[in-house]
Amino acid sequence: MTAILSNLQAVHSAIAQAAQLARRDAASIALLAVSKTVSDGRVREAYAAGQRVFGENYLQEALDKMAALRDLPLEWHFIGPVQSNKTRAIAENFSWVHSVDRLKIAERLSAQRPPALPALNLCLQVNVSGEDSKSGVAPQQALALARTISALPHLKLRGLMAIPAPVDTLAAQRQPFARLRELMQQMNAPQDNTPGLQLDTLSMGMTHDLTAAIVEGATIVRVGTAIFGRRNYGEHK
Ligand SMILES: *Cc1c(COP(=O)(O)O)cnc(C)c1O
């Protein structure tokens, strides 16, 4: 058995255990394998072990990997910061973008999404830890931004994403995830004469806080280290 296969099995059982703890169906939680800095050969190994959906942070690295893996039916999610000059290639090559936090970026992705492709799935990245250094829209601004974005063509606003500051205990990890879940519930509720949004995705939880995220309702967990081992940034960039 390869390391990647046994790691994937371990992550799936961690997801199943957390789901059981939360009385949730494990099938409602998708595993996004974060393959930044991971070679195309190791992505191929993960594919052989059954993984189909991969997340990348760096555009050029992702495009090189997609080209090398064109023979495989993989689904690619962009999860890194999105710069304006990268939106066209992202709109043309990915199925999802998890890390949108500005209207301008969403407008460009909408305009540049090839109409022949299905709508590009988007998550709004929300700054739930409240640190000013982090990217993400402020929770108080998320609803207005989401309403505007959900009117754009060629996009499908699916939900919210967060990368909370790392903390150690399960209770502390749960707090920002609970905030993201509550925010999505508020955004889905009708207000006055405006119907609620129809968001169905909470992209939250990484290797170190997967259980807390699932207990709070994650529908996509983004896991790199637990699948591929520690990243060696020297390998790629
Ligand atoms: C790198 C990364 C991950 C995966 O982190 P691990 O701790 O390796 O599981 C998840 N989400 C985002 C946005 C990342 O940049």
Tell whether 187 is covered by a domain.
yes
Q: Following CA atoms 167, 205, 123, 48 in sequence, which dihedral angle do they give, to the nearest 10 degrees?
A: 150
Instruction: Tell me, yes or no, whether 233 lies in a domain.
Output: no
Classify residue 25: in a domain, yes or no.
Answer: yes
Cα 168 to Cα 101, 113, 162, 175, 176: the distances in Å are 27, 40, 17, 12, 13
pLDDT for 237: 44
Average pLDDT estimate for 40-44: 98
pLDDT above 70: residue 155: yes
Percent of the chain whose pLDDT exceeds 70: 97
Give the tens place of pLDDT for each residue, 53-104.
999 999 999 999 999 999 999 999 999 999 999 999 999 999 999 999 999 9
Q: Residue 12 domain-assigned?
A: yes
- Assess if residue 235 is contained within a domain: no
Number of domains composing the chain = 1
Q: Which H/E stretch holds residue 156?
A: strand 155-161
Ligand 1 mutation target, pool 4, 15, 31, 34, most atoms within 8 A of CB: 34
Rounded Cα distance between 127 and 139, Å, is: 7
Question: Residue written as tokens 């992209």?
Answer: 203
pTM of this structure: 0.96
Residue 86, in any domain of the structure = yes
Atom of ligand 1 nearest to the CA of 207: 9
Nearest to 125 by CA among 222, 33, 215: 222
At 181-233, the pLDDT tens digits run 999 999 999 988 899 999 999 999 999 999 999 999 999 999 999 999 999 87
Per-residue pLDDT tens digits for 99-109: 999 999 999 99
The Å distance, Cα 194 to ligand 1 centre, comes to 35
Alpha helix segments (H runs only) across 130-216: 139-150, 170-188, 210-215
Spell out which residues line ligand 1, taking CB within 6 angstroms: 34, 36, 57, 79, 163, 206-208, 222-226
Q: Quickly list H helices, the chain.
A: 3-21, 40-48, 59-68, 87-93, 103-112, 139-150, 170-188, 210-215, 225-228
Is residue 11 in a domain? yes
pLDDT band at 169 (very low <50, low <70, confident <90, very high): very high
Residue 161, domain extent: 3-228
Asked, for residue 234, whether it belongs to a domain, the answer is: no
Q: Are 112 and 84 in contact (CB under 8 A)?
A: no
Q: How far is the CA of 129 from the centre of ligand 1 (A)?
A: 16
Phi, psi of 53 (to 5 degrees): -115, 125
CATH of the domain at 189: 3.20.20.10
CA 189 to ligand 1 center in whole angstroms? 30
